[in-house]
């Protein structure tokens, strides 16, 4: 974080400063900010966030002993005399975290050349964030979220990593309900806002796809006047956001596969080593070999190229940098195992759209004589749509002629029943209550030439099953 005095931080978060021995209001703090006491080091700021499982106030003492210079708390915490720490008492630690992020970003922005990109969408946010960060890092110091730091805690923590020397901040905005993206994007008012797609991810929290569309529009509404909205021309719900951008005084740039897109992909070919296509931007045409598995990631690459272009990056530079990316992120279409048995671990997140895309990728990269094996778990946060969407994925798996459909977990049982009902009743589809049971089955079932997709929402825990399979068949 940038250098700030204790009194400046207290003013930023609207809190009351309680000084520890040796500190004064003008004592300067410039360490990292975190809500996890285990990563706090000398000079850092610990935010004691109450949580569902535990309360951060229990760890203020540990943070102080680790060298924290400041704790942001909702009530004073007594620490040992050997490890005192100044504390700022606030009404809400999470709101204070956001207020501090807003202040820090505003200061850096006013003093330098910081440019900010915000990314949202029902799927593809993390991949697009990583692709864009890879493009921008060769242009100047770039800050982007670690993993999927895109919620009310993760997004501000990412923002607080900016320094006076930071040139680009790439923020990923997720949401499980209305108003969340507006709050997060409002902290930074992006110069460029990217909307990837509107689907059924987290639909249970929003109440349907129309409400999801409205929530994703919140990013466009937060773009700075004179900024740019980078929109998916192939998604009608995203395309409808153009009028909102124009009302904000923002320009619109289109990416997609169709002819109306300003940045588009042609001649797309999917293989086991990635996806090849031709990127078209105006009169420019550039071949791209995207090593991240899955045809659906072409759209994420297009979005990253479009956003980078608005920040002055040439098409040849953007393409060359994208070709160095091997995986988008751990547990996201991550190749494991070996050529003998290839495991594709994509079990960090799952929605109906991403599940469908992953199954299509499995079908596309499997050669004649090889078997397609899908290890599938539940898709979470779908609310009233959960049953029918699990049915649809079960049907699709059968229709794609997946030779083995291994369904894991009680919450995914309806997917298994749909597959059986569609005609996968001769052992092609099997069901297991636990990942351990599925692992033992797969150890005996998998054979040379198999291509295995492991796909589920994070809560189903199949990412660890994918890792175990990858190690066993490496």
Closest C-alpha among 160, 168, 302 to residue 232: 302
Pairing of strands 86-89, 16-18: antiparallel
123 known member of a binding site = yes
The annotation status of 125 as a binding-site residue, yes or no, is yes
Q: β-strands 372-376, 168-172: how paired?
A: unpaired
Residue 25 region by backbone torsions, left for phi larger than 0, else alpha for psi between -120 and 50, else beta: alpha
Smallest CA-to-CA distance from 198 within 240, 159, 162 is with: 240
Measured CA distances, 269 to 13, 266, 272, 330, 345 (Å): 51, 9, 10, 24, 21
The pair phi, psi for residue 255, each rounded to 5°, is -125, 155
Furthest CA-CA distance within the chain: 74
Instruction: Confirm or deny that 124 is annotated as ligand binding.
Output: yes
Alpha-carbon span 337 to 435, nearest angstrom: 18
Joined together, the tokens standing for residue 332 give 């996201």
Residue 122 known to bind ligand: yes
Q: How far apart are CA 54 and CA 381, in angstroms?
A: 23
Q: Where are the beta strands (DSSP E) in 196-243?
A: 228-232
**Phi-psi map region of 409: left, alpha, beta (phi>0 left; psi -120 to 50 alpha):** left
Residue 14: both structure tokens together: 């609207």
Q: By CB neighbour count within 10 A (0-12 exposed, 13-18 middle, 19+ buried), where does 21 fall?
A: exposed
Q: How far apart are CA 411 and CA 67, in angstroms?
A: 44
* Residue 174 main-chain phi, psi, to 5 deg: -105, 170
Q: Spell out the residues 6+ positions from residue 240 whose beta carbon is closer than 8 angstroms to its own.
A: 213
Contact at 8 Å (CB) between 195 and 374? no
Residue bearing tokens 């929402």: 457
121 is in an annotated binding site: yes
- With contact defined as beta carbons under 8 Å apart, do 300 and 288 qualify? no
Integer Cα distance of 128 and 303 in angstroms: 7
* Angle at CA of residue 120, ends 127 and 357, nearest 5°: 50
The DSSP code for 21 is T
DSSP 78-143: ---TTS--EEEE-S-HHHHHHHHHHHHHHHHHHHS--EEEEEE-SS-HHHHHHHHHHHHHTTS-EE
Q: Name the binding residues for ATP.
A: 121-127
Q: Name the binding residues.
A: 121-127
């Amino acid at each position: 974080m940038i250098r700030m005095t204790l009194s400046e931080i207290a003013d930023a978060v609207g809190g009351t400063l309680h000084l520890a021995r040796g500190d004064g209001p003008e004592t300067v703090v410039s360490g990292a900010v975190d809500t996890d006491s285990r990563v706090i080091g000398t000079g850092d700021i610990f935010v004691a966030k109450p949580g569902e499982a535990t309360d951060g106030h229990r760890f203020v003492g540990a943070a102080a002993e680790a060298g924290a210079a400041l704790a942001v708390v909702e009530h004073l915490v007594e620490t040992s005399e050997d490890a005192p720490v100044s504390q700022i008492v606030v009404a809400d630690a999470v709101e204070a975290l956001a207020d501090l992020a807003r202040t820090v970003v505003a200061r850096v922005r006013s003093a330098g050349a910081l440019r900010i990109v915000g990314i949202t969408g029902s799927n593809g946010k993390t991949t697009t964030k990583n692709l864009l960060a890879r493009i921008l890092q060769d242009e100047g110091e770039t800050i982007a979220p670690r993993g999927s730091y895109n919620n009310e805690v993760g997004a501000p923590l990412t923002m607080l990593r900016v320094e006076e020397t930071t040139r680009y901040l790439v923020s990923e905005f997720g949401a499980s309900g209305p108003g969340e993206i507006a709050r997060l994007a409002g902290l930074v008012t992006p110069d460029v806002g990217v909307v990837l797609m509107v689907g059924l991810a987290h639909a249970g929290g929003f109440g349907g796809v129309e409400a999801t569309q409205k929530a994703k529009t919140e990013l466009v509404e937060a773009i700075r006047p004179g900024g740019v909205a980078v929109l998916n021309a192939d998604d009608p719900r995203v395309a409808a956001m153009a009028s909102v951008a124009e009302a904000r005084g923002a320009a619109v740039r289109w990416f997609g596969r169709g002819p109306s897109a300003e940045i588009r992909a042609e001649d797309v070919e999917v293989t086991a080593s990635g996806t090849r296509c031709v990127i078209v931007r105006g009169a420019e045409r550039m071949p791209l070999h995207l090593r991240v598995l899955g045809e659906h990631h072409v759209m994420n690459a297009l979005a990253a190229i479009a956003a980078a272009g608005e920040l002055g990056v040439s098409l040849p530079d953007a393409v060359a940098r994208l070709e160095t990316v091997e995986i988008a992120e751990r547990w996201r279409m991550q190749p494991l195992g070996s050529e003998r048995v290839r495991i594709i671990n994509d079990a960090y997140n799952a929605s109906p759209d991403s599940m469908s895309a992953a199954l299509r990728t499995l079908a596309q990269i499997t050669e004649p004589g090889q078997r397609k094996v899908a290890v599938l778990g539940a898709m979470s946060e779908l609310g009233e749509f959960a049953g029918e969407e699990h049915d649809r994925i079960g049907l699709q798996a059968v229709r794609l002629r997946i030779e083995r459909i291994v369904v894991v977990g009680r919450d995914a049982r309806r997917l298994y029943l749909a597959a059986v009902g569609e005609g996968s009743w001769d052992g092609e589809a099997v069901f297991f209550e636990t990942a351990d049971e599925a692992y033992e089955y797969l150890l005996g079932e998998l054979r040379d030439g198999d291509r295995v997709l492991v796909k589920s929402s994070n809560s189903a825990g199949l990412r660890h099953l994918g890792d175990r399979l990858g190690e066993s068949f490496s």
